[in-house]
């Protein structure tokens, strides 16, 4: 009798990991699934695109300038005859690289400050005041000012590409960690009082190990959600800065820069603004949908309903 129920139980409940549950919930959200698919597609296109579409984005073919869509140039060419598709792929590389690294930087800073503020009591006050202070800064004007002031120095020190890339990533990362820090701090504060942390403390686990083994895995879900929002924010900020003419130089395309350059040709070739704009918008849209789905999937109260 007991054997039968035992085997029945085993049949019914195959071992399921938490992440399988999360995936199940995630895949019920159609928008999130589509968003993740599109984001993956953009990522792959940007990484492997140059091998498939092998035209050099810097190659100037002045006789083929301002062309519309054709078989040789599926998305047309710009005023110097450079292939728009190739430039879009190259621009995507920069935009995605800036987005991902800036997001990582802001996550690391945000998580570090959040965990420290939540776990170490005497650091809580000062760190949260710092966070409030950063939230009160006028970010876009400040970004513009920082970039304007330090652009030339970094460019001459590290070269035009690496210098501006580092500046962008640093500036975006350092101004977008506050939300993550606040959420992580709140979660850490409540986790700290839970029994399993108490148990770990009582057997003499050092603080560093408690944070790494017991607290960080449990705050992973809000971190993941803010990671997706961070990518969206970083991509938008980078293209906004490039759009204002304060981002990457023109021979080093990003999506925002391509859009900015296309505006001068709005009368002649209105279609040209469409492609980089669509690339930015669709990527951000897909990332936001992904974030929505992740938030639902990682919330155990919603999961399984």
Based on the shown chain and the rule CB under 8 A, indicate whether residue 141 belongs to the binding site for another protein.
yes
| Cα(226)–Cα(205) distance, integer angstroms | 29
**Nearest distance in Å: CB 277, another protein:** 4
Based on the shown chain and the rule CB under 8 A, indicate whether residue 80 belongs to the binding site for another protein.
no
Which positions from 24 through 43 interact with another protein, judged by CB under 8 A?
A: 31
Q: Are 300 and 113 in contact (CB under 8 A)?
A: no
Q: 3-state class of 67 per DSSP?
A: coil
Q: Which of 72, 108, 142, 302 contacts another protein by CB under 8 A?
A: 142
Q: 3-state class of 80 per DSSP?
A: coil
Based on the shown chain and the rule CB under 8 A, indicate whether residue 153 belongs to the binding site for another protein.
yes
Q: State which residue, 200 or 262, has the beta carbon closest to another protein.
A: 262
Q: Which of 97, 104, 139, 201 contacts another protein by CB under 8 A?
A: 139
Alpha helices in 120-248 (DSSP H): 121-135, 139-158, 160-174, 178-192, 195-202, 207-209, 220-243
Based on the shown chain and the rule CB under 8 A, indicate whether residue 69 belongs to the binding site for another protein.
no
Instruction: Determine the longest span between alpha carbons in the chain, in angstroms.
Output: 86
**Nearest distance in Å: CB 293, another protein:** 12
Based on the shown chain and the rule CB under 8 A, indicate whether residue 158 belongs to the binding site for another protein.
no
Based on the shown chain and the rule CB under 8 A, indicate whether residue 239 belongs to the binding site for another protein.
yes
Q: Are 230 and 176 in contact (CB under 8 A)?
A: yes
Q: State which residue, 97 or 144, has the beta carbon closest to another protein.
A: 144
Q: Are 285 and 231 in contact (CB under 8 A)?
A: no
Name the nearest CA neighbour of 248 among 184, 131, 193, 169. 169
Q: State which residue, 134 or 252, has the beta carbon closest to another protein.
A: 134
Q: Which of 232, 294, 297, 298 contacts another protein by CB under 8 A?
A: 232
Distance of CA 162 to the CA centre of its chain: 20
Based on the shown chain and the rule CB under 8 A, indicate whether residue 266 belongs to the binding site for another protein.
yes
Q: 3-state class of 83 per DSSP?
A: strand
Q: Are 173 and 113 in contact (CB under 8 A)?
A: no
Residue the block writes with tokens 């695109």: 49
Q: 3-state class of 229 per DSSP?
A: helix
Based on the shown chain and the rule CB under 8 A, indicate whether residue 226 belongs to the binding site for another protein.
no
Number of residues that bind another protein (CB under 8 A): 42
| Cα(22)–Cα(25) distance, integer angstroms | 5
Q: State which residue, 89 or 147, has the beta carbon closest to another protein.
A: 147
Q: Which of 42, 191, 289, 295 contacts another protein by CB under 8 A?
A: 289
The stretch near another protein (CB under 8 A) out of 43-51, 78-86, 99-107, 255-263 is: 255-263
The stretch near another protein (CB under 8 A) out of 5-13, 78-86, 98-106, 135-143 is: 135-143
Q: State which residue, 138 or 217, has the beta carbon closest to another protein.
A: 138
Q: 3-state class of 77 per DSSP?
A: strand
The stretch near another protein (CB under 8 A) out of 45-53, 84-92, 105-113, 236-244 is: 236-244
CB environment 189-221: b (16+ within 10 A), e (fewer) = eebbeeeebeebeeeeeeeeebbeebbbeebeb
Contacting residues toward another protein, per CB under 8 A: 31, 132-133, 135-142, 144-146, 148-150, 152-153, 232, 236, 239-240, 243-244, 246, 256, 259, 263, 266-267, 270, 273-274, 277, 280-281, 284-285, 288-289, 292
């Amino acid at each position: 009798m007991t054997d039968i129920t035992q085997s029945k139980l085993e049949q019914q409940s195959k071992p399921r990991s938490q992440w399988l549950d999360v995936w199940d919930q995630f895949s019920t959200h159609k928008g999130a699934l589509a968003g993740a698919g599109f984001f993956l597609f953009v990522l792959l296109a940007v990484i492997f695109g140059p091998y498939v579409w092998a035209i050099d984005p810097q190659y100037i073919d002045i006789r083929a300038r301002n062309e519309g869509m054709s078989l040789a140039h599926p998305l047309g060419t710009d005023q110097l005859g450079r292939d728009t598709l190739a430039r879009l792929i190259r621009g995507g590389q920069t935009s995605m690289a800036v987005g991902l690294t800036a997001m990582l930087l802001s996550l690391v800073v945000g998580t570090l400050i959040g965990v420290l503020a939540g776990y170490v009591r005497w650091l809580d006050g000062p760190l949260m005041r710092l966070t409030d202070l950063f939230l009160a800064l006028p970010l876009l004007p400040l970004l513009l000012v920082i970039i304007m002031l330090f652009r030339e120095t970094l460019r001459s020190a590290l070269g035009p590409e690496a210098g501006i890339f580092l500046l962008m990533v640093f500036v975006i990362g350092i101004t977008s960690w506050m939300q993550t820090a606040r959420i992580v701090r709140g979660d850490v504060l409540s986790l700290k009082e839970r029994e399993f942390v108490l148990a770990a403390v009582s057997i003499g686990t050092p603080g560093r190990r408690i944070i790494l083994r017991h607290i960080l895995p449990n705050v992973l879900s809000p971190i993941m959600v803010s990671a997706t929002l961070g990518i969206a924010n970083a991509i938008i900020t980078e293209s906004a800065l490039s759009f204002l003419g304060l981002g990457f130089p023109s021979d080093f395309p990003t999506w925002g820069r391509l859009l900015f350059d296309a505006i001068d040709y709005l009368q002649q070739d209105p279609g040209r603004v469409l492609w980089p704009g669509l690339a930015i918008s669709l990527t951000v849209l897909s990332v936001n949908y992904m974030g929505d789905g992740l938030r639902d999937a990682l919330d155990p109260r919603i999961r399984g309903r």
